[in-house]
A and B are shown apart, each in its own frame.
Chain A
Amino acid sequence: MPEKSFDINRIRAEIEADAETRRRQDPELARLERDIERAWIDVAPPGAAGDDPGELLLDRADRLALIDVDAPIGERRGVREVKGAIRKATYWYLRYVTDQMNAFSGVLTRLLRRMNERLDHVEHVVGIYRDDRELLDPPDAPSPATSAAIAREVGSGRTVVLSCGDGEVVAALDEAGGSAYGVDRDAVALLPGVERGLDLRTGDPRTHLVELETGSVDGLVLAGFVETLPVAMLVDLIDISLDRLAVGGRVVVAVADPGNRSPIEAELRQGRGISPETWAHLLERRGAAVSLVDSPGPRVTRLVIATTP
């Protein structure tokens, strides 16, 4: 008998969560999978590996950098002979020019590779894309009481919750009559919510936000992951968020104040995350109407509510 509640997206989310649990339990398996991924990225079509790996582009630049002096002459009798004669007559000249251009392109592509390596190094040292999950647990998801407060502020309409955890905020939004889904990097964290039937998806919240179309959502809830990003990225994120909202849409930011962090978290997350007041300031600077409202806590004590003009 077919299941009544067949939902292939839920099945996929559950499989991904189970697989992720296995990877965490078995480091050897995780290592093997990373090797498989590396092998595949070299031959995979664009899109298969998620984010476009820069290495593929650099390889393509290498290939395209070489100018072929041996122009095709086609098949048609007569035309072929004429083109062949032109090719032969101009070969010495074109070759002289293309040799110089190929040498120049070769230097440029080597330089690109060098710059790429140095950029990787700088990013590593500065920690822009540092994955600190091994050093610290991710910020806790908003409590049920805070989730209910967020739902009251967002109202109805299509809402995306970025860093949804187990889906407490999504559930509160659904109960309030809205249509919400959540995105979180941690497949295991969102599994309980998936099993409750919530629309929760595995993915990078920032990438998901970037890929949304302009004006496509009525509400955005920013939580968790925004506490781990440096200020420069948060400023960009604010612009992207306001762009993705429909006219009159709302962003609700649910973050803990970095000033209340424990010494360990304060040191390891130095320069990452900003206070609700700073969020409010930045959103206002970008033209949104902003208010700060108290939240039941315990971790998130104030919510930033921004409405697009």
Chain B
Amino acid sequence: MSRRVTFVTPRYGADVHGGAEQGARSLAVGLAAEGWDVQVLSSCARSHVTWADEFAAGETLEEGVRVNRFRVDHPRDPGFDRLSDRVLPKAGSVSSAEAWDWIDRQGPASAALLDAVAEVDGGVLGFYPYLYQPTARGILRARVPSVMHGACHPEPALGLRIFEQVFGAASGFAHHSRAEQDLILERFPSTSGHPQVVLGLPIEVDGPVDPERARSALGLGDEPFVVALGRIDIGKGTHELVRRFSDFRARTGRGRLVLAGPVIDALPETDGVVVLGPVDAEHKFGLLAAADVLINPSPHESFSIVVPEAFLVGTPVLVNGWCLPLREHCENSGGGLWYTGIADFEVALSRLLGSESLRQNMADAGRRYAEGFFCWESVRARYEALLDRLD
């Protein structure tokens, strides 16, 4: 008999950006391809900023996965940011009622989606990620064993005390990284007795890897460059990176930084920095392969898909060492370096740009790591072992 898994996510779809959402999709599609009975329950929203219903409600079959989408009860509350400013600084001491109100107003709020979660009567429920209403309220209504794919990173909301109840309700945990597991064990010590695994995510190169074509299509010419791929967002560390890179360029007179991803917070025009905006799947891997180095400046990640993706196309990485999951990729692979200050950022970048053989060696080490730990077979085996323990 095939195994049955129902994933619950706030948004779902091939064109939905977001690490947790992409992770849920890659796992769902992979398991469905293996003959598992995989269903996804999600909202009709595409944007996590508005939660507006953009997908049609109802059931569709997408890449072998049955996807059921439900309308949201209301779009994102316009007063939500003000509410966050009040609630999050004292997250550990607000009442449960206030915390639940924050969750509901954050969205996506969908009573129909929660009812559907409560109606699942077989198999396992997989909740992705911890922060939104479908998980926070849904896991408390689950009638079957549930796996929390928390995608946690240190952030004020994790301090809300209602999450002790939410995490306590999970039957098992699939962590993106050892650092995420440590964080959850420290925040919710009672979860230590639950079955859990450091799952990571299945990573594959699912687009053409043609550096020359990407250079030409994106107007990057022949000059070398380093790339940062992801949301251009203050919270993702992009602006801090641009400042550091600019200082580096002023001091050394070399280097070009290419930023690719949706622009959330606009950047001032900066010498040596090229902002491409979103890059389609056609050129994503070509761009990564064409770069000398991928830089991930984000302080808040639970996994970072783009790091192993860069390894797979032969590009070493330089990451923000204050983000432990990023550092973990580098320590485990030998394919990356990290920085925590200004001096080590500049020295490491100089070193990487100055030695092709170093980049080559690191990329080789990174590729071996990504292929070994995050190939589909390896991730599926870990997930299966976790589900075995829940049965």
Query: Taking beta carbons and an 8 Å cutoff, which residues of A are in contact with B?
Result: 1-3, 6, 8, 11-12, 14-16, 18-20, 22-23, 29, 32-33, 36-37, 40, 43-48, 60, 62-64, 66, 68, 70-72, 74-76
- List of A residues within 8 angstroms of B334 by Cβ: 8
Contact B92 A29 (CB under 8 A): no
A-B interface contact total, Cβ < 8 Å:
103
Provide the B353-384 mask, 1 if CB < 8 A to any CB of A, else 0.
00001101110110000000000000000000
- List of A residues within 8 angstroms of B161 by Cβ: 68
A8's partner among B93, B140, B342, B365 (CB-CB below 8 A) is B365
Provide the B73-98 mask, 1 if CB < 8 A to any CB of A, else 0.
00000000000000000011101110
Q: Is the interface of B mostly helix, strand, loop or mixed?
A: helix
Contact flag A70-B95 (CB < 8 Å), given A12-B337, A40-B322, A40-B340: yes
Contact flag A46-B162 (CB < 8 Å), given A12-B337, A40-B322: no
Contact A22 B154 (CB under 8 A): no
A196 to chain B, nearest CB (A): 19
What residue of chain A has the Cβ atom nearest to residue B162's Cβ? A72
- List of B residues within 8 angstroms of A36 by Cβ: 340-342
The interface-forming segment of B179-187, B200-208, B283-291 is B179-187
The interface-forming segment of B26-34, B56-64, B305-313, B343-351 is B343-351
Q: Is the interface of A mostly helix, strand, loop or mixed?
A: helix
Contact B299 A68 (CB under 8 A): no
Contact A8 B362 (CB under 8 A): yes
Contact B92 A15 (CB under 8 A): no
Provide the B306-343 mask, 1 if CB < 8 A to any CB of A, else 0.
00000000000000011110010000001001001111
What residue of chain B has the Cβ atom nearest to residue A49's Cβ? B322
B179 to chain A, nearest CB (A): 7
How far, in angstroms, from A14 to B186 measured CA to CA in the complex?
33
How far, in angstroms, from A230 to B147 measured CA to CA in the complex?
51
The answer to whether B192 has its CB under 8 Å from any CB of chain A is no
- List of B residues within 8 angstroms of A72 by Cβ: 96, 100, 162, 165
What are 10 residue pairs bridging A and B, where the CB atoms are less than 8 Å apart in the complex? A1-B360, A6-B358, A6-B365, A11-B358, A18-B347, A19-B347, A22-B343, A44-B154, A46-B182, A47-B324
Contact flag A63-B341 (CB < 8 Å), given A1-B357, A45-B324: no
Contact B344 A47 (CB under 8 A): no
Contact B358 A3 (CB under 8 A): yes
Contact B140 A75 (CB under 8 A): yes
Q: How many residues of B contact A (CB 8 A)?
A: 45
- List of B residues within 8 angstroms of A8 by Cβ: 334, 362, 365
How far, in angstroms, from A46 to B92 measured CA to CA in the complex?
17
Sorted from nearest, which 8 A-B pairs have the closest CB atoms? A63-B92, A19-B343, A6-B361, A33-B341, A8-B334, A19-B344, A70-B95, A45-B154
The answer to whether B137 has its CB under 8 Å from any CB of chain A is yes
B182's partner among A2, A47, A68 (CB-CB below 8 A) is A47
The answer to whether B261 has its CB under 8 Å from any CB of chain A is no
The answer to whether B159 has its CB under 8 Å from any CB of chain A is yes
A182 to chain B, nearest CB (A): 20
How far, in angstroms, from A72 to B162 measured CA to CA in the complex?
8
- List of A residues within 8 angstroms of B323 by Cβ: 48
B348 to chain A, nearest CB (A): 5
Contact B357 A46 (CB under 8 A): no
Contact B179 A47 (CB under 8 A): yes
How far, in angstroms, from A74 to B114 measured CA to CA in the complex?
13
What residue of chain B has the Cβ atom nearest to residue A102's Cβ? B93
- List of B residues within 8 angstroms of A29 by Cβ: 342-343
Contact A45 B361 (CB under 8 A): no
Among B137, B162, B322, residue most surrounded by chain A Cβ atoms (within 10 Å) = B322
Among A11, A16, A40, A66, residue most surrounded by chain B Cβ atoms (within 10 Å) = A11
B287 to chain A, nearest CB (A): 24
